[in-house]
């Protein structure tokens, strides 16, 4: 099976080259990897290295509190951190992240690349965030007796690891290279136990620590101040929206919103044509964030910039998180930590925090425009809205501590050599 896997990786690597001429994301994916080993020259043979791998931006947010904790802890002052990304959507945004020593694309998982990569960075420990199990890298880590952990993981019964098929057995072999699993819930632990893995600890998702830290930072944004100058009763912040999300939001804004409601919409894409289309579809007074002067009589503000959404949520009285009518919801913990009720679409089943928060009545699911209108009417009841917001913030606070859980393990492994 490893022979077939290696042939497939080589074939895919070859196949992607011509496709990259017509696909911007693939162009970044391949060209960025050409720079990986050059950038890793910064790592010297005498350096002590902690390697952290994330798939994309969401996993980076889970790894970030661990990186910050390592950097703050004097016990790790002699360690360098190498951060790798698989996806361009993560790497291109965070390639200049200054709390790591090197940020690079993860090389394609060939046997040759795995050996060269580990020869170059020679990590004391490897940390994989949430998922991504690369067989050649993991085999090489195991061969070199380098401790390898998975953090904030969630396992589901329908994953290949838990199947009796040929592919299932192959994937389980990758799990045997992991020194310890830090999982988010009891179900994940039970699944791993069912196939013979006892090196499992339930730890809170490290994103809780990350989003909670945002509450205590300065979240003021100068351009939002004039927009909210007339102090509306409600501010709905819609983050990471897709077109299907925007369709039901625009219906509410155009046909049901009252003058004492304001809306901030942060689309997941900065495509100019799609932003202009959204602007055109809204019949209320609407402006882009990039406009020179934001007016107090504007009812809808469209964020045509990136990097400020987590701060903008601090202005919300109600939040809508996009993606639930498509590939899956984006980060609902970012608004929840500010103590506001969260609205999402129906595709949330793969997200433990959404399932939890729905049960706790801090998060609410809408399936169409009619359900959104009905829910917004419910939020006119201040007691209902306040209770829902309190449920959100309590949920975040009750799940803090995942970072400390991982950090304690790192200290035992690296400093005490247990």
| Tens-level pLDDT at each residue, the chain (418 residues) | 767 877 777 777 777 777 767 777 777 887 888 899 999 999 999 999 999 999 998 899 999 999 999 999 999 999 999 999 999 988 998 999 999 999 999 999 999 999 999 999 999 999 999 888 899 999 999 999 999 999 999 998 988 888 888 787 888 888 999 999 999 999 999 999 999 999 999 999 999 999 999 998 889 999 999 999 988 999 999 999 999 999 999 999 999 999 999 999 999 989 999 999 999 999 999 999 999 899 999 999 999 998 899 999 999 999 999 999 998 999 999 999 999 999 999 999 989 899 999 999 999 999 999 999 999 999 999 999 999 999 999 999 999 999 999 999 999 988 776 4
Cα separation, 232 vs 246, whole angstroms: 21
The predicted pLDDT at position 2 comes to 60
Q: 212 in a domain, yes or no?
A: no
What is the tally of structural domains in the chain? Answer: 2
Q: Cα dist. 373→251, 258, 368 in Å?
A: 9, 12, 9
The predicted pLDDT at position 171 comes to 83
Say if residue 198 is in the same domain as residue 337. no
The predicted pLDDT at position 111 comes to 93
Say if residue 24 is in the same domain as residue 168. yes
Q: 252 in a domain, yes or no?
A: yes
Backbone angles phi, psi at 327, to 5 degrees: -70, -15
Planar angle of CA 272, 270, 278, nearest 5 degrees: 60
The predicted pLDDT at position 353 comes to 93
Say if residue 354 is in the same domain as residue 247. yes
Q: 209 in a domain, yes or no?
A: no
Q: 211 in a domain, yes or no?
A: no
Say if residue 196 is in the same domain as residue 153. yes
Residue 266's SS3 state is strand
Residue reference for tokens 């007016």: 295
The predicted pLDDT at position 314 comes to 96
The model's pTM is 0.85
Cα separation, 157 vs 339, whole angstroms: 33
Say if residue 159 is in the same domain as residue 284. no
**What's the CATH number where 156 sits?**
3.40.50.11720
Give the HSE-up count for residue 389: Cα atoms under 13 Å, Cβ half-sphere: 18
Q: 317, 310, 316, 319: which is closest to 363 by C-alpha?
A: 319
The predicted pLDDT at position 118 comes to 97
Say if residue 241 is in the same domain as residue 255. yes
Q: 197 in a domain, yes or no?
A: yes
Say if residue 178 is in the same domain as residue 225. no
Say if residue 150 is in the same domain as residue 181. yes
- Taking a C-beta distance cutoff of 8 angstroms, is the pair 108, 36 a contact? no
**What's the CATH number where 310 sits?**
3.40.50.2000
Q: 149, 167, 156: which is closest to 1 by C-alpha?
A: 167
Q: Find the domain containing 345 and state its range.
A: 219-397
Say if residue 181 is in the same domain as residue 251. no
**What stretch of H or E contains 37?**
helix 36-39
């Amino acid at each position: 099976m490893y022979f077939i896997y290696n042939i497939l990786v080589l074939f895919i690597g070859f196949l992607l080259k011509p496709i990259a001429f017509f696909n911007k994301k693939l162009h970044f994916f391949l060209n960025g990897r050409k720079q990986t080993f050059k950038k890793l020259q910064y790592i010297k043979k005498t350096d002590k290295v902690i390697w952290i791998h994330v798939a994309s931006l969401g996993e980076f947010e889970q790894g970030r509190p661990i990186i910050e904790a390592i950097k703050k802890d004097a016990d790790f002052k002699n360690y360098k951190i190498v951060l790798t990304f698989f996806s361009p959507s993560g790497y291109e945004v965070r390639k200049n992240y200054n709390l790591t020593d090197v940020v690079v694309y993860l090389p394609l998982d060939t046997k040759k690349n795995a050996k060269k990569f580990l020869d170059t960075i020679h990590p004391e420990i490897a940390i994989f965030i949430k998922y991504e199990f690369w067989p050649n890298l993991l085999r090489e880590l195991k061969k070199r007796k380098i401790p390898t952990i998975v953090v904030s993981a969630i396992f589901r019964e329908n994953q290949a690891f838990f199947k009796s098929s040929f592919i299932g057995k192959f994937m389980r072999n990758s799990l045997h290279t992991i020194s310890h699993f830090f999982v988010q819930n009891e179900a994940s632990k039970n699944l791993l136990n069912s196939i013979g893995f006892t090196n499992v600890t339930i730890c809170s998702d490290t994103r809780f620590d990350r989003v909670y830290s945002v509450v205590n930072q300065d979240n003021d944004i100068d351009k939002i101040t004039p927009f909210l100058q007339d102090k509306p009763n409600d501010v709905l912040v819609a983050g990471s929206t897709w077109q299907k999300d925007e369709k039901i939001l625009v219906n509410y804004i155009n046909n049901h919103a009252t003058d004492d409601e304001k809306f901030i919409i942060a689309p997941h894409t900065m495509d100019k044509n799609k932003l202009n289309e959204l602007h055109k579809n809204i019949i209320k007074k609407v402006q882009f964030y990039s406009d020179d002067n934001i007016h107090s009589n504007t009812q809808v503000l469209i964020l045509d910039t990136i990097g400020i959404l987590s701060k903008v949520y601090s202005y919300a009285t109600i939040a809508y998180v996009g993606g639930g009518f498509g590939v899956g919801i984006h980060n609902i913990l970012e608004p929840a930590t500010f103590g506001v009720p969260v609205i999402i679409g129906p595709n949330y089943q793969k997200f433990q925090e959404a399932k939890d928060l729905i049960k706790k009545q801090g998060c609410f699911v809408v399936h169409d425009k009619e359900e959104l209108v009905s829910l917004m009417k419910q939020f006119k009841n201040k007691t209902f809205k306040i209770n829902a917001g309190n449920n959100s913030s309590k949920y975040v606070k009750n799940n803090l501590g995942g970072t400390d859980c991982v950090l304690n393990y790192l200290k035992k492994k690296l400093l005490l050599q247990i």
